[in-house]
Amino acid sequence: MTMRGRFITLEGGEGAGKSTQATYVRDWLLAQGREVVLTREPGGSPMAEAIRAIVLGDWAEGVTPQTEVLLMFAARAAHWHATIEPALAAGKDVVCDRFVDSSHAYQGAGKGIAAEGMAALETLAIGRHRPDLTLLLDLPPDEGLKRTQARGEQNRFEFETLEFMQRVREGFLERARAEPGRFRIIDASRDAAAISAEIAGLLAGLPDQGA
C-alpha cells in the first residue's frame, strides 16, 4: 500500500520570504529522494488560479471581507480536491506557499470575519484535513512592507496598513500558540541562508506518514 505523503505549508505576512523558502523545502525534499509537488494559495489548480486573479484584482466596486473570504475558500476547495489530496494519496509530499492559516490571519484577525464563520468554511472546503508541518516565517510588518516595496511588485494585500498587518501577524502567532505540535515559528528577519538552515533541521525530523 502506498505511503501517504507529507503536507508542509509556509505561512507569514508580506515580505517574509515564503516563496523563497518554499522552493528550498521542495529542493531539500527532492534531494532526499522524495516526490514533491510545490503549490501555492490562492491558486494551485486551474480553477483556483482563475479565482486568484479575481481575488487580487483591483475592482472599482471594492472587495468586501465577506466576498474575499468566500473566494479564498472557493479557491482552496478546488485546490485541495484537484491538486493536494491526489498528490498526498499518491505518496508525494506537498509544499504549499500559504494555506488555511492565512485566511484565519488575513480575513479573520485582519478583517474581522467571525471565528465561527471561518470554521464553517474551513470544514466545508477541506473537512478535518490539516498540514503535517506549518513553518511560520515571522517578521515585523514594517520590515515586511519595506521588502515588498523594494521588489516593486505589490498586490492588493501589500497596500494594506501597518495596523492591518500587525493584526495579521498576531493572528498567525495566535494560531501557532494554539497548535504548537504543528507550527514552528521561524525568525524571518535573518538572511535566507540562515532561515533555510533552520528549516533543514526541522525537515530532517519530520516523520513519514502512515499508509
Residue 121, domain member (yes or no): yes
Separation CA 51–CA 63 (nearest Å): 13
Q: Is the pLDDT of residue 160 over 80?
A: no
Q: Quote the distance between the C-alpha of residue 155 and its chain's center.
A: 16
Let me know how long the chain is: 211
Q: Is the pLDDT of residue 21 over 70?
A: yes
Q: Is the pLDDT of residue 76 over 70?
A: yes
If one compares 31 and 159, the residue with the highest pLDDT of the two is 31
Q: In whole numbers, what is the pLDDT of the chain averaged over residues?
A: 93
Binding-site sequence positions for ATP: 12-19
Query: 196 lies in which domain range?
Result: 15-204
Return the C-alpha torsion angle 96, 69, 47, 82, nearest 10: 50
- DSSP annotation string for 154-199: --GGGGS-HHHHHHHHHHHHHHHHH-TTTEEEEETTS-HHHHHHHH
Q: Is the pLDDT of residue 156 over 60?
A: no
Residue 51, domain member (yes or no): yes
Residue 198, domain member (yes or no): yes
pLDDT tier at 149 (50, 70, 90 boundaries)? Answer: confident
pLDDT tier at 92 (50, 70, 90 boundaries)? Answer: very high
Q: Which of 121, 210, 117, 106 is nearest to 164 (CA)?
A: 106
Binding-site sequence positions: 12-19
Residue 209, domain member (yes or no): no
Q: Any idea what the CATH number is for the domain that residue 106 is in?
A: 3.40.50.300
| pTM: predicted TM-score of the whole model, two decimal places | 0.92
Are 107 and 68 in contact by the 8 Å Cβ rule? The answer is yes
Q: Is the pLDDT of residue 143 over 50?
A: yes
Residue 2, domain member (yes or no): no
Q: What residues does 135 pair with on adjacent strands?
A: 10, 184
Residue 1, domain member (yes or no): no
So what's the pLDDT on residue 161?
82
Outline where DSSP puts E strands in the chain: 7-12, 36-40, 93-97, 133-138, 183-187
For the chain, what is the domain count? 1
Residue 183, domain member (yes or no): yes
What is the percentage of the chain residues whose pLDDT exceeds 90? Answer: 85
So what's the pLDDT on residue 211?
44
Separation CA 164–CA 127 (nearest Å): 29
So what's the pLDDT on residue 210?
47
